[in-house]
A and B are shown apart, each in its own frame.
Chain A
Amino acid sequence: MHPVLSSLRALSWYLLAWLAGGAAFASVLVVSMQTPWVNALWFAVPVCLAYAFVIPSAYYVCRALPFTRRRLAVGLVLFATASAIAGSIGWGLCLVWNRFSRTLELDWAVIEWTHHTGWALFAAAAGVYLLSLLLHDVMIALEQMRDAQRRELQSRVLAHEAELQMLRMQINPHFLFNCLNSISALTSMDAVAARGMTIALAQYFRQTLSLSEQSSIPLAQEIAHCQCFLDIEAMRFGDKLGIDIAVDGVAQTAQVPPMVLQPLVENAVKHGIARSTRAGTVHIKGVVRGAWLHLRVDNPVEDDAQSAQSDTFAASSATTHGAGLGLGLRNIHQRLQTLYGDRARISQHVAEHRFVVELALPFTTTGAHGVHSP
């Protein structure tokens, strides 16, 4: 909707301006044609008020073919045609109103109409319309500029949020403090193991930092990172945690966004091993089928723990959209969507007492798959 027509306040001011325009038009008639004032006003004001409602159509003409998307010639033809049509309408309005006034047979209600008058009126109406077209063009361009600025600001805020989220993921406070506590416990019991865990922890955080600086890494690196994480967890959980990693040779070379698997593996340990009272194995699988890289992480679930797991980690029904996913999965889903759009899928389900998360990404061995650098 045209901004002037959408608010009553704006419309009143607009019509008031046209009232003044009508008065100015009348004075032109008085000066140029020696028309008496009453006749000039009677003729000019209603015509101007009526024409005021023709002018806003320029907004739609300009919007239909915005400044940035039209060539000069097309623009000239468009503006000339639109102005000519509007001019004819203005001329028609004048003619009809004057004919009507003549039927009233009042000597103060008509103006003298010559061949010359008709052309002048047409030219004036067309000129005003052309001016309006140009004004609208500027207005729309400004509006688009503001919109672009707002969008840019918005995307910058979103990028910052994503960065923060990434940072929090990198620091992983719960994991860090639990590890420090384990080390603290080990120092008096098993000094060698304490040192081993310190080194493993340092390595894990160093890897996290260097990986997240890159926009995409070979899957082999991501797997190595997961392995490093699992080594630490194995020290904490002992025999309770079994690990089975099966990634085929081609898949190892696939480029993936960093930290795409690690959160899944961490969740698998948290929900499948830590939460369980029994020992269990976390499986990590990676295969390439055609143009797709399929990744799968699964962990055992106990029947009675299932509802709790679905609650905290993910909803019970599998879905490829963000809606039904838990926070951990939703973050990954969001990241994948910004990187790949609809060309990546993530889903999760429970089958045969195992909680399964599956990812499908376009398979590529070069870094350039539209990944934005952080």
Chain B
Amino acid sequence: MIRALLVDDETLARRLLREYLQAHEDVKIIGECDNGFDAVKAITDLQPDLVFLDIQMPRLTGLEVLELTQRDHGVIFTTAYDQYAVKAFDLHAVDYLLKPFSQVRFDEALARARRLMGQPTAGLQAITTHTTGKLERVLIRDRNQVHVLALNTVASVEAQDDYICIHAQGKSYLKTQSLSELEGRLDPTQFVRVHRSWIVNVGHLKNIDRLSKDSFVAVLHNGQQIPISRAGHERIKALI
């Protein structure tokens, strides 16, 4: 028995999937979601064998759902027209259905998914690790909640052991990621690594105080004070 989850923001699209699945008696639909947040929760809680995942969805895209759940197996994408997302990953590594699709095409994708059941695929792993490409917003998972932070609200990021602590809108969010990895995906003209364990958003910078001859501290609009290393001082000076 294959336990499947349907994720699509349109009722009709989900009903179509349901109809196509009727031909496959060994597939049981264990849930439906009409937005990315619910999908993250359902994938984590239900651990389905197979997820039919729409890419363009309310609040979180299908790709972001994968990044947040770190799911690297048993996913079939469905998308109407998303040339950028489709181009972004290797077409052969990931199966996706272009809407509208036929029962035949659907069955093919399902057969393929059946063969690969439970095995991580390279294409999905590439999406979950997502180490390339510029970030547009930061996603944080906090047990059953997902926070979406617009980059301009992020004031600073601090490295803490295996975590990073993101300071935004007066709150702090923990995320499992390395500071260098995050730094690589941020706009270098907006975010500066001022210290081994600190990244600062230049837009939130109020002023730079000199403590002694060679020691500086960045003061942000929210009052936060952030140490600046010598190399960090060179970098931020070059930017402002």
Contact = CB atoms under 8 A, between A and B. Distances in A.
A82 to B, nearest CB: 51
* Majority SS at the chain A contact face: helix
A236 B11 CA distance: 7
Given A181-B99, A185-B13, A185-B16, A311 B137 contact: yes
A198 B104 CA distance: 23
A173 B12 CA distance: 18
B59 A178 contact: no
Interface residues of B, number: 26
A150 B13 CA distance: 51
A183 B98 CA distance: 14
Given A178-B80, A180-B99, A307-B148, A185 B19 contact: yes
B153 interface: yes
A308 B12 contact: no
A311 B150 contact: yes
Highest count of chain A CB atoms <10 Å: which of B12, B19, B137: B12
Interface in A294-349: 304-305, 307-308, 310-311
Contacts, number: 75
Interface stretch (A3-11, A88-96, A137-145, A272-280): A272-280
Nearest to A275: B58
Interface string A130-163: 0000000000000000000000000000000000
B9 interface: yes
Interface string B121-165: 000000000000000110000000000111001000000000000
Nearest to B147: A304
A180 B100 contact: yes
A277 B33 CA distance: 10
Interface of B: 9-13, 15-16, 19, 34-35, 38, 56, 58-59, 80-82, 98-100, 136-137, 148-150, 153
Q: Which 3 A-B pairs have the closest CB atoms?
A: A275-B58, A185-B16, A181-B99
Given A178-B10, A185-B12, 4 more contacts: A178-B13, A182-B12, A275-B9, A304-B148
27 contacts: A173-B81, A174-B56, A174-B80, A177-B98, A178-B13, A178-B81, A178-B99, A181-B13, A181-B16, A181-B80, A181-B99, A181-B100, A182-B10, A182-B12, A183-B100, A184-B99, A188-B19, A189-B15, A189-B19, A237-B10, A274-B9, A275-B9, A277-B38, A305-B59, A307-B153, A308-B59, A310-B150
